[in-house]
Amino acid sequence: MSKKKKIIHPYIPNSVPEIKAKMLEEIGVKNIESLYEDIPESLRFKEELNLPEPFLSEYALKRHVEQILSKNQTCQENLSFLGGDCWQHYVPAICDEINQRSEFLTAYAGEPYEDHGRFQTLFEYASMMGELLDMDVVNVPTYDWGQAASTSIRMAGRITGRTEILISETISPDRLSIIKNYCKPTIKINTVKYDPKTGKLNLEDLEEKISSKTAGIYFENPSYLGCIEDQGKIISDIAHSQGALSLVGIDPISLGILVPPSNYGADIVCGDIQALGMHMQFGGGLAGFIATRDEERFVMEYPSRLFGITKTTVEGEHGFSDVTYNRTSFHDRIEGKEFVGTASALWGITAGVYLALAGPQGMQELGQVIVQKSQYAVKRLSKINGVKIPFEQSSYFKEVVVDFNDAGKSVKEINKVLLEKNIFGGKDISNEFPELGNCAVYCITEIHSKEDIDRLTHTLEEYLVKEELQ
Amino acid sequence: MNKKTKVRNFHQAKWDEPVIYELSNKGERGILFPEIEKEIEEIIGDGISRLPENMIRKQPPNLPELSQMRVLKHYLRLSQQTLGADLNVDIGQGTCTMKYSPKINEEFAKSPKVTELHPSQDERTVQGILEIIYNLDLFLREISGLDKFTLQPGGGSQAIFAMASIIHAFHESNGDSEKRDEIISTMFSHPSDAAAPTVKGYKVINIYPNEDGLPDVEALKKAVSNRTAGLLITNPEDTGIFNPKIKEFTQIVHDAGGICGYDQANANGILGITRAKEADFDLCFFNLHKTFSSPHGCGGPATGALGVTKELIKFLPVPLVEYDNEKFYFNYDVPKSIGKVRAFYGVIPAILKAYSWIMSLGSEGLKEVSQIAVLNNNYLLKKILEIRGANAPYARGRHRIEQVRYSWNKLYEDTGVTTEDVTCRMVDFGFHMWSSHHPFIVPQPFTLEPTESYSKAELDEYIAGLKKVVEEAYDNPEIVKNAPHRSVVHKLKTDTLDDPERWAITWRAYLKKNKK
């Protein structure tokens, strides 16, 4: 850009000199500088910001950004088996169509009148999630599962008046890190062991650690290691017998075929809705939900917005607005529950679209096809020499631990070879779960064809067997 | 539209669209998912019977059943019943910087080169997106004067919580975290500047404004002690008045042994003008969905980009994105890291849009953004003060930065018409007007922030709307008090919303509580 040529930027209409002059005149000042009279000289930044020369034409900007993005290799161009807190599912076209609508994309915090649609879509999202979860209260989404779990735990602390929490060791380590920071220094966290044979919670360890100081036990189902926990009722009963709450984190896309946690005694359920119509976006598509029964002692502890349905002055008209707004930090900056702010509402609207498209049958069929495919993958993988599937007595939904301890190759080496063949191998958990040794979590969803799974197993077989022969 | 008064004969879309459950028809399908291959089915069977018996769902979830076009139509109608910034002169949501979110940046975010990336991919396969993250960090360092940014927090409030966590970790590393248990904030800072540190276990002292509308230095001096952990403060505050003594604030808190976090969520009036560094802040954050143009999405997804000085880098959440002159990579070796505040690396679409926005403007452009935002704001201020019943408390006769907190108190005293009434009537002309954060220190408050995005003609149109409503308030207050008349729905009955017996947060709860 030539320094001398003054451009009128398309994003800044009142840069036009005549308009600017007219406005300055109206204000009664000579120049814009005098509007900054309150910023003392000593605080002024006197240099030019050292930023790259801008791309003023939209075309040049497009060339620039696309050139950078072209360096990425995607899960669409490759075959990916990555899961673990972010998952590749099919995103129906209408999900994108709706969340890219100008109205939803650029609205923010309007009133229940001009933003009626925002309130209704988020109420409907909560309503459909409520059916999936078999619970009556669901929040406007928070940032992600980690935040949802953290808040569920803090809610349990306030509801029970206790400050200790038990968490299953099979939780995602990243999520545990979020929870630890969110709870520190108020809530003390202890972990509960899992059974190395089944991957399920070790009930003896739970009984030993739970006490009348425990606010709640938090476990995930399926866990980060993929195992379906079928002792939910027993765990909830143990918690309740100590006056503690049962807190369960889940993947909502599993609930077409799996029993929702409310049916086995959960008091607060949380998780991520990314699988319900959000692209992965390098982890940008996450959004957390929290659900409870419709009891005042639960509802009043939510920090989130809760949208409710009500009447208007016109008979038969539905209106929507905030339920118990006064509990939020928007109303009371000190006494409000935790804090609320901009989080991930647009993904909530999108998940609503997804659930409306899928319907009861769709969720059921989807859940079934996912377990069939993951079971097929387990069957194929476990036949490879040097490859084992631990926790065999248990069962999986879409993620499964693959054990390469006898393969003579580290997960890192294996994934490197797979990458050369345009396959993104499962997530390396050898550092996250050192007791399992050389393992990876593979994720199989409806997007994987039989051919994809066969290609993975062939490639692994070829590499591992060939290496063995050498 | 009447060209002379500039008030539109507006009516919002009103489809009378039922709740989605009321549209359900048994058996209709909205989407079909991939079917299982025969070969797999032959080997595996139905899959479900292998699951633990007590974990198999017996009743399918009670979701609505609709054909695809009907779902689309439902949501399109609801979108038309939502007034986004793309459609209105969205200057009524002060503090939130409702500026233009360029469409080209949406195109980038829609690219499969972004949407189809898994966060655990090998670093070699994601060099493009890491480059964006890293370079945005560099840009924000320059804009703030601080030394390193994390883009992990998923919004301003989460960034504030991360700041409180870093303040806590800092004192912990000095063995001081138990003694230093107080955070100081101000009443005109964002509510989360008080609420988030409270979650972190801090006692929060809120400094009230003095008669100039600025937080009182004397009150601050009284508030600090050896219990002071830090300061979390917005500047300019919600009033749009820049606190010229901000450096004195950081000095006082530093002298007491505290560290200082700058809430620059909204920095739209000061880009290239003044920075966190010159005011001696240790931490600051920018909302990429405010100043840096990423759209608000009905309330997220969003990003609170958090920057720190060199001394505090070791406390940042992991991973940091670094560059070794050959490749971009994740650095998990952050010795005293607070851990994680959000999963993975942040809200990538917001990060990408902010990057692209800065690259479309450059240094001169960013400064122009701020200058025009300030010009627009002071023009608006001048015009609003000409409206009967409106005023702008504090700093009389002085100029403001990017926004102003006004008051309808005079209007209320004259006519009985409240801020809420004006808000509801503005809707009838296609406008949105917001009141203020709580508590309402300014009586009958409203907060306007014109940003750089709207033309003078559009600002004039908004002003004409306000004038029209005020005229009505004086001549025929009932029309204002019973508004809206031309919006999607009419005045809400809100009494059910605070009553546990009658509130209904889901459709199923509504049906249970309203059985005939």
Output A200 or A465, whichever has higher pLDDT: A200
A344-403 per-position pLDDT tens digit: 999 999 999 999 999 999 999 999 999 999 999 999 999 999 999 999 767 899 999 999
B361 touches A: beta carbon within 8 Å: yes
Residue A1: pLDDT band (50, 70, 90) is very low
B222-247 mean pLDDT: 96
A228-283 per-position pLDDT tens digit: 999 999 999 999 999 999 999 999 999 999 999 999 999 999 999 999 999 999 99
Chain B residues in contact with A115 by the CB 8 A cut-off are: 82-83, 298, 432
- DSSP character at residue A52: P
B265-292 per-position pLDDT tens digit: 999 999 999 999 999 999 999 999 999 9
Instruction: Give the nearest partner residue to A345 out of B16, B297, B455, using CB atoms.
Output: B297
Query: Is the model's pLDDT at A470 over the cut of 70?
Result: no
Burial of A366 (0-12, 13-18, 19+ CB in 10 A): buried
A117–B111 CB contact, under 8 Å: no
Q: Residue B427: closest CA among chain A residues belongs to which residue? A: A114
Instruction: Give the nearest partner residue to B378 out of A35, A85, A282, using CB atoms.
Output: A35
CA distance A290 to A344: 13
Residue B305 φ/ψ, nearest 5 degrees: -75, 120
Q: What is the pLDDT of residue A465?
A: 84
Interface test with chain B among A72, A152, A391, by most B beta carbons within 10 Å? A72
A107-119 per-position pLDDT tens digit: 999 999 999 999 9
Alpha carbon B354 to its chain's center: 14
Q: What is the pLDDT of residue B270?
A: 98
Burial of A212 (0-12, 13-18, 19+ CB in 10 A): exposed
Chain A residues in contact with B511 by the CB 8 A cut-off are: none
B65–A309 CB contact, under 8 Å: no
Query: Is the model's pLDDT at A314 over the cut of 80?
Result: yes
CA distance A111 to B516: 30
B384-404 mean pLDDT: 96
Instruction: Give the nearest partner residue to B192 out of A314, A329, A346, using CB atoms.
Output: A329
Instruction: Give the nearest partner residue to A366 out of B33, B368, B482, using CB atoms.
Output: B33
Asked if residues A40 and B248 have their Cβ atoms less than 8 Å apart, the reply is no
Q: What is the pLDDT of residue B5?
A: 58
Helix (H, G, I), strand (E, B) or coil at B85: coil
Task: Name the B residues in 251-310 with CB < 8 Å from any A CB.
Answer: 270-275, 278-279, 287, 289, 295-302
Residue A442: pLDDT band (50, 70, 90) is very high
Helix (H) or strand (E) holding A94: helix A93-99
Cis peptide upstream of residue B349 (ω within 30 degrees of 0) = no
Q: What is the pLDDT of residue A2?
A: 45
Chain B residues in contact with A440 by the CB 8 A cut-off are: none
Burial of A21 (0-12, 13-18, 19+ CB in 10 A): exposed
Residue A459: pLDDT band (50, 70, 90) is very high
A342–B295 CB contact, under 8 Å: no
Task: Name the A residues in 203-232 with CB < 8 Å from any B CB.
Answer: 228, 230, 232
B51–A395 CB contact, under 8 Å: yes
Instruction: Give the nearest partner residue to A363 out of B60, B106, B270, using CB atoms.
Output: B60
What's the ipTM? 0.98
Q: What is the pLDDT of residue A466?
A: 75
CA-only gyration radius of chain A, Å:
26
Q: What is the pLDDT of residue B515?
A: 84
Task: Give the closest-approach CA distance of A466 to chain B in angstroms.
Answer: 24
Select from B322, B105, B127 the least CA-distant residue to A71.
B127
Q: Residue B421: closest CA among chain A residues belongs to which residue? A: A111
A256–B87 CB contact, under 8 Å: no
Chain B residues in contact with A101 by the CB 8 A cut-off are: 75-76, 79
What are chain A's domains? Answer: 13-64 (no CATH), 79-87+361-469 (3.90.1150.10), 93-355 (3.40.640.10)
B180-202 per-position pLDDT tens digit: 999 999 999 999 999 999 999 99
Chain A residues in contact with B124 by the CB 8 A cut-off are: 419
Structural tokens at position A166 = 């038990």
What are chain B's domains? Answer: 20-80 (no CATH), 107-358 (3.40.640.10)
A424–B121 CB contact, under 8 Å: yes
B505–A345 CB contact, under 8 Å: no
B79 touches A: beta carbon within 8 Å: yes
Alpha carbon B450 to its chain's center: 16
Spatial neighbors of B213 by CB under 8 A, at least 6 apart, are B188, B237, B239, B241, B393, B394, B395
CA distance A207 to B486: 61
Task: Give the closest-approach CA distance of B7 to chain A in angstroms.
Answer: 17
A43–B274 CB contact, under 8 Å: yes
A117–B126 CB contact, under 8 Å: no
Task: Give the closest-approach CA distance of A212 to chain B in angstroms.
Answer: 23
Spatial neighbors of A469 by CB under 8 A, at least 6 apart, are none
